[in-house]
Structure 1
Amino acid sequence: MNDPRAASPDYAGLKTRALLVSVFTIGTCGLIYELLASTIASYLLGDSVTQFSTIIGVYLFSMGVGSYLSRYFRRDLITSFIEVQILVGVIGGLSSPVLFFAFAEIDAFRVVLYGWVTATGVLVGLEIPFLIRILEDQFPLRDLVS
């Protein structure tokens, strides 16, 4: 009679699960891309503590910027969400070759490095606000945020 499962909404919908799995996967990839950029920077520039600290700081700041910028996306959120997911995969996947090439060929390597990390962080920062806005009609806000 007082079964707590009866009062909770059904989160087992296939589309919702696919959406959440994709966010988890791309979020994990974003973390890997951040650590990869930090590792490459420490290999190429030395001083691993400074490189990891600045890359992680720029990445987290960029995620906040991405979260802020999400307010300007008002139409067709699902398409925008998918485009952001694809861009995170492409930009993150190309980070190693691009950074190694930039170090060998470009004098302003740090600009490329921090620009690349910023782009990745902004895109990852867009994901959670998009997800919350896409699912806000299906679930209470307290369930979405937790």
Structure 2
Amino acid sequence: MRIRSIAWALLLLFVGAAPGVAQQAEVEAAVRATLDAWRTGQYAAFVGSYHPDARGFFLDGGDVIEGFSLDALEATAEAGFDADVTLSDLDVKIYGTSSVAVGLLEGTLTLPGGLQLSGVWRYSETRIREGGAWKIVQFHISRREG
């Protein structure tokens, strides 16, 4: 009888954890898709990953950015911007209908004018579940020193 009770408890624990695991996989896929869209120049898909009220800090160390303009991203790409980066150490935590993801970006960014920045950058984002999709509401990219 005791073994049966333990088996039921484990089953309930596993079934209860499954939605969180599924959500974590959804967010991991969304993070990778967003960064792949940025890296491959699919800027409409990239901008579509962001909530209209999204804001954050970009790798230039400047002031907070509020939203992304598809036209501005495409113009920057036409002026020579390129992101040749890979994501590693992705870690996602789910908090109900919100998520926090952190990871590292490594590679080379080519800025308009040809200046290349190589290195490792810390990446973090916060998403909310809205309309069946995980939308970015906050992001931060900064160079990892050392």
Q: Structures share a fold, TM > 0.5? A: no
Of Structure 1 and Structure 2, the greater helix share is in 1
TM-score range, shorter chain: 0.3 to 0.5
Greater relative CO, 1 or 2 (CA 8 Å, sep 6+): 1
**What TM-score comes out, normalization by structure 2 length?**
0.32
**What TM-score comes out, normalization by structure 1 length?**
0.32
